[in-house]
Amino acid sequence: MKKDVLINWRTNELASRSPQRRWTGTVERRPATDPAERRKGVLLLVTVVLVWGLFWPVNKVVLESLTPLWSLALRSAIAVVALFGVALACGRLVVPPRADLPVLISITLLHIVGFTVLSTWALQILPAGRSAVLAYTTPLWVTPGATLFLREPLTVRRAVGVAIGLLGLFVLFNPLSFDWSDGTVVVANAAILLAALMWAASILHIRGHRWQSTPFALVPWEFLLATVILTSFALVSDGVPVVAWNARLVSMLLFLGIPGTALAYWAIAMASRHLPAVTTSLGLLGTPVVSIIFATLWLQESPSFSLVAAIFLILCGVAIGTTGNR
């Protein structure tokens, strides 16, 4: 991703303003040279990494009380309220242009619904740390996808990055040590990898689309559509939820919907205005590391040697493949 910048996973606000130009994922506005602005950008970036790092363990705890579909529907509904509030407060709430409707639907179905449903279902079964690592294989699939569908050149550097990342996956799924007899665990791992592929497909559409508005301007509407879809699926599949509501569950849902979704989207868009794209990209690689730390301290998960080695190889591969030639 920047050129495959990881920030674009969360639909960056800084798309090209010209309808005749494609948004390539590069940040159009130069980062500020003012030290105070840079410090602000670093603070926002660190905040997002911490929030998204905590997101996976919190989500796993929420799944003890709610089904995957209802946890997603409620989280998405909370995010809708917060996102529309942020957009109104910033004076950036606009009706999506008709030309951007295909990409709005694509992001909603592939990323917000497809990715989250599969990864949340798998999170019930797999450790939070492992789930986060598998989800962050997304840029590995973007690189060959961009070559196949967007005709972007597959440079030696990108090829090396993909190869190292795939080596990390091999370490994580060592055929000699992986428990292939547990079909549920096998399917759960495959579900998160499929989720990462769906997210990658969404990113490719984002990069190939000719934008009329900006990606960030579409986010409230994407979550509104996702809330309608997820709530409908939850009612059909699970019926009206019977939940023992308590302050702990409500506070975790509020965390997932407001800081974990709405404010994090806004913060990463703001951070990209004050920091170089590569700094933002590499900074976001800290998210699965933070997830493993929180899962170890809070959920008492014990990261194995293969998981630590895999995350090192995968993140090194992403870092090599997404940075420039220098």
Burial of 46 (0-12, 13-18, 19+ CB in 10 A): middle
Q: Return d(Cα 33, Cα 274) in angstroms, integer.
A: 8
Would the pLDDT of 19 be above 60?
A: no
Question: What per-residue confidence (pLDDT) applies to 176?
Answer: 67
* Of the candidate ranges 115-129, 178-192, 271-285, the one whose mean pLDDT is the lowest: 271-285
> Which residue in 3, 55, 114, 115 sits closest to 260, CA to CA?
55
Question: What per-residue confidence (pLDDT) applies to 26?
Answer: 37
DSSP state, 108? I
Intra-chain end-to-end CA distance of the chain, in Å: 16
Using alpha carbons only, what angle is made at residue 153 by residues 198 and 29, rounded to the nearest 5 degrees?
75
DSSP state, 33? -
> Does 34 or 197 have the greater pLDDT score?
197
Would the pLDDT of 52 be above 80?
A: yes
Question: What per-residue confidence (pLDDT) applies to 38?
Answer: 84
Largest CA distance in the chain: 57
Q: Return d(Cα 225, Cα 112) in angstroms, integer.
A: 10
Would the pLDDT of 182 be above 50?
A: yes
DSSP state, 65? T
Question: What per-residue confidence (pLDDT) applies to 136?
Answer: 82
Question: What per-residue confidence (pLDDT) applies to 299?
Answer: 92
> Which residue in 119, 62, 129 sits closest to 291, CA to CA?
129
Which single residue is written with the structure tokens 């690689």?
285
What sign does the dihedral 110-127-162-193 (CA atoms) show? negative
DSSP state, 42? H
Question: What per-residue confidence (pLDDT) applies to 7?
Answer: 39
Q: Across 22-26, 34-38, 134-138, 174-178, which has the greatest mean pLDDT?
A: 134-138
Question: What per-residue confidence (pLDDT) applies to 167?
Answer: 92
Would the pLDDT of 24 be above 80?
A: no
Mean pLDDT of the chain: 85
**pTM for the full predicted model:** 0.83
